[in-house]
Structure 1
Amino acid sequence: MFTVARRLVIDDARSARSRREVAAPGEGEGAALDRTDAVLDSIMVADALASLSDQHRQVVVCAYFAGQSIPEISRRLGIPEGTAKSRLHYGLRGLRLALQERGVTR
Structure 2
Amino acid sequence: MDIRTATVTTDADTFLRTLYRRHGSALHRLAARMLGGDWHRAQDIVQEVAIHAWQRPMDVGPMDDTVRNRLFTVVSDLVTDGHRDQAEWPVETAGEAEMALLAAPDAVDQALTAQLVWDAMADLAPPQREVLLHLHCLDRSVSQAARVLGVPPGTVKSRTYYATRALRTALRARGVTEC
Instruction: State the TM bucket, normalised to the shorter chain.
Output: 0.5 to 0.7
| Correspondences of 1:1-106 after superposition (within 5 Å) | 34-106=106-178
Which residue pairs with 2:3 in the alignment?
Answer: none
Paired with 1:34 and 1:63, the residues of 2 have a C-alpha distance of 25
Tell me which amino acid in the other structure corresponds to 1:77. Answer: L
Runs of 4+ in 1 over 2 A off after TM superposition: none
Q: Quick one: distance in 1 between partners of 2:106 and 2:139?
A: 27
The two structures have a TM-score, normalised by structure 1, of 0.66
Shift of 1:38: 1.2
Aligned equivalents of 1:70, 1:87: Cα separation in 2: 11
**Percent identical across equivalent pairs?**
41
Structure-2 change in CA distance of 1:87 and 1:34 (3 Å):
closer
TM-score of the aligned structures, taking structure 2 as reference length: 0.40
Give ranges in structure 1 of 5+ residues lacking alignment. Answer: 1-32
- AA at the equivalent of 2:119: D
Q: Deviations over 1:15-52 (max 9, x none)?
A: xxxxxxxxxxxxxxxxxx95221111111000001110
Once residues 34 and 102 of structure 1 are traced to their aligned partners in structure 2, the CA distance between those partners, rounded to angstroms, is: 21
Task: Supply the distance in 2 between the matched residues of 1:39 and 1:85 (Cα, whole angstroms).
Answer: 28
User: Is the partner of 1:51 in helix, strand or coil?
Assistant: coil
**Whose relative contact order is higher, 1 or 2, with alpha carbons under 8 Å and at least 6 apart?**
1
Cα-Cα RMSD: 1.4
User: For residues 71 and 63 of structure 1, what CA distance do their matches in structure 2 show?
Assistant: 10
The corresponding residue for 1:22 is: none
Write 1 or 2 for the structure with the bigger share of helix.
2
Matched residues, number: 74
